[in-house]
Structure 1
């Protein structure tokens, strides 16, 4: 069982390395040809994906709010305070 798992991990690693090598070749070709648009597209596709915005909001005592319903209530309180 462990041997199969190790083989699978090795195959996945080889596939990942091949994919990264191919992407590196594409980046180098775009840079060498002066194709800035293609280069930027490849860089964006290669980079990490942006995560959803996740703002931490705290109670008056400084403790972070963890309950999503309370989080919405707290944002409402803060915005009402801004406009009043």
Structure 2
């Protein structure tokens, strides 16, 4: 996977480590370590690590696939009952 780099000119070579999920934030949503300490310190709790977001997505996909299988099984059972 390609490493995302900071959009701030001062820190343009720094790796993005967090994303701000605060909807009222007026700053950029992607943060390197330096930006996090300088521009987003007032709502630090809303800034989630990129690795954590990936983990949430993987968990969501896994859960979705499990529900899809359960739905298929239930559908199949209902179909068998109706026959």
In the superposition, the TM-score normalised over structure 2's length comes to 0.39
In the superposition, the TM-score normalised over structure 1's length comes to 0.39
More helix by share: 1
Question: Which protein is bigger by CA-based radius of gyration?
Answer: 1
